[in-house]
Chain A
Amino acid sequence: MGATDRNPSNSSYYVTNDFYAKLVADFEGWDLESRRIDEGPSLVRARSILFREARYLDQDRLRDWLTLFSPECAYWIPGTRNRGDPRREIAFAFHDRRQLEDRVYRLETGFAWSQTPVSRTSRMITNIEVFDTDEPGVTMVRSNFQVTEYWNGQIRFWTGYAVHRLAPESGDDLGVGAILAKQVNLIDCDENHRNPSITL
């Protein structure tokens, strides 16, 4: 890796002050009734991408899961109910492309004790709604989720809603690179969690 390597898997030049500012703005006030898309290909596509994402995660296909994210993506789990600004507050998690790959790399080492044994998960994704944005073809997708996690002899739940910002459809991509940003809003994001090590 050299100083001029701009591949976002290797370096993080794209996460700038402007990037954060746009991210925060994009995830504010997007769920207007007037922008809701109730039917048609956007909804079918959104559902297909979200279900596929859930399946990859449930099947521990983390490398396949990574392919769904765009090169210059954001993955954001706010730690407060009003979501805050990740430039000014600690998030439950905030990853760029490289750190998403870090996350997967760590789990693959075989030495991540918090995931030994590996959690078994089953995700239910419901209430999918698609909203149009000012950027041509870009949509915001809201969904409710409940993840059941079985780990070390116990069952527990992670619950909330996710917001996916999806890139315009590009034909035959099967969702590859579609997720520009994902925000995971846990209903108990500001609570102390036991072993928060699965990928949401």
Chain B
Amino acid sequence: MTGDGTAFDFDALIHEDKVHRSLYTNPAIFDRELTRIFGGTWVYLAHESQIPEPDSFFRTRLGLRPIIMVRDGDGVIRALYNRCTHRGATVCRAAQGTAKSFACPYHGWTFATSGKLLGVPWREGYAHDHRQEDQFNLAQVPRVESYRGFIFGTLNMDAPALADHLGPVRGPIDDWLDRNPGGKLVLSEANRMRFKGNWKLAYDNSADGYHVIFSHRSLLMMENRFAGDDPKGMSFYRQRPDSGRVRVYYFGNGHHFKDKRPTLADGPGAIWRIEGLHPGMEGYESEIRERYGARADAMLDLAGSIPMNINIFPNLLILGNHIQVLEPLSYNETATTWYGTAIVDDEDELDGAADLINALRMRTQEQFPIFGEVDDLTNFEEIQAGLGAEEDPWVYMDRGLGLPDRFTEKDGVVSGPATDEVFMREYMKHYKTLMAADPELSISRGGHD
């Protein structure tokens, strides 16, 4: 499954301060990413709340491979190839739901949610019994592991365990989850977008503190039109962001984290205070204050967007309360889905406030995709257009590079000021390692009895 016969000199394409346009424009490099990255390393596939019970499924992709995420009848989470073992048709055509089995619409072969082949119509027309032969079970991603609800998969048996691969980025993920009741969240539908551009344009942007006041200028003006001396949202970037306390951290394996929490005031209510204006804010806030008194500030913080930005290479971007998922569609087309998250209060820690908080929380999550992300996506498309210029091939990511005392490095974690492109330089080094390697990729046929 590896070895596409194309030789690339990644040392010539990826430098400390710049990368070559072909990383974004060359279809052959994209094809190589589909094995070396989307397959060769851990890739986010789905959230456990999307397949909440046995026999639930959710259709997705690993790179371009059509995948059905299932929780099989025994509750085991699997990533099945949505590819009939007869002649290749997809066996699942619904986006999500529950199913006891998948019947291929073409000739009726039937598979259990575990991937096991159950039936072949008119079997007497075959000289052998497919059900006795493993290769006729649906292929599966051989390694599927979760970290606190996030499901990842890889085709690389030599990859480290997921927890080790994530390494120190687990710290911010834990913080992000632990502020919620029960330390968990569920997905609650999404703002769904796509752009005509390479997927890495979105990953390059994911912790970019440099673009905010320019690319999102209209949103910043909008969300502060009533704010007076009490700036909202991303206003932090309007000051001198590099001398502030917001830092970007590179954790290795392509993962990074921009921590904006140091800009928060102390105590409960600080997150809510910087939240922009949204439908229902004043009405719900007064109701929550009336009903819950001194506890209201902490509750309102749960409706507010936590100023954290955790980016898990290559395709999972946790931003505020969102889980943004990147799906590469071609070298110049990418889907970006901004899943909203809701709190679940199984133990009723919040005395019935969860529904009120979630109603507010849906609105606080819609604003950025609708009024902010659209402008970034336009800029990504315009980069893709600009990179059509062959004779001017370099994309620079050298902000901060070479400045004395700009970065700190501790236990392998590199950190720099909010607007530095250090995370891009570092993830590109990791990207180069992955693209130059030639891992053996494999599938499994399920481990059925």
Contact = CB atoms under 8 A, between A and B. Distances in A.
Interface of A: 1, 3, 10-17, 19-20, 79-80, 84, 86-96, 98-99, 102-103, 105-107, 109-114, 116, 190-197
B189 A12 contact: no
B93 to A, nearest CB: 15
B193 A196 contact: yes
11 contacts: A13-B286, A79-B192, A90-B365, A92-B191, A94-B362, A109-B217, A109-B218, A113-B378, A194-B195, A195-B377, A197-B374
A113 B192 CA distance: 19
A174 to B, nearest CB: 27
Interface string B323-360: 00000000000011111101000000000000110110
Nearest to B339: A90
Nearest to A6: B282
B193 A192 contact: yes
Given A194-B193, A194-B196, A196-B193, A12 B278 contact: yes
B330 to A, nearest CB: 13
Contact of B193 (A86, A95, A102, A193): A193
**Interface size bucket, B side?**
35 or more
Contact of A17 (B196, B339, B356): B356
B270 interface: no
Contacts of A94: 279, 362-363, 366
A20 B192 contact: no
B225 to A, nearest CB: 6
A126 to B, nearest CB: 27
B298 interface: no
Given A90-B366, A192-B194, A98 B222 contact: no
B135 interface: no
Contact of B282 (A11, A194, A197): A11
A17 B280 CA distance: 9
Nearest to A14: B283
Contacts of B222: 102, 105-106, 109
B87 to A, nearest CB: 28
Contacts, number: 146
Interface of B: 95, 188-196, 215, 217-219, 221-223, 225-226, 277-284, 286-287, 335-340, 342, 355-356, 358-359, 362-363, 365-367, 370-371, 374-375, 377-379, 381
Given A13-B286, A17-B287, A194-B193, A88 B188 contact: yes
A200 to B, nearest CB: 12
Nearest to A3: B282
Given A90-B188, A105-B222, A111-B221, A13 B282 contact: yes
Contacts of A111: 217-218, 221
Contacts of A190: 95, 192
B354 to A, nearest CB: 11
B25 to A, nearest CB: 19
A9 B362 CA distance: 20
A102 B335 contact: no
Nearest to A79: B189
A195 B188 contact: no
A89 B359 CA distance: 8
Contacts of A96: 279-280
B315 to A, nearest CB: 14
Given A109-B218, A113-B379, A87 B359 contact: yes
- By CB atoms of chain A within 10 A, which of B192, B340, B365 has the most? B192
A121 to B, nearest CB: 16
B375 A114 contact: yes
Contact of B225 (A13, A91, A105): A105
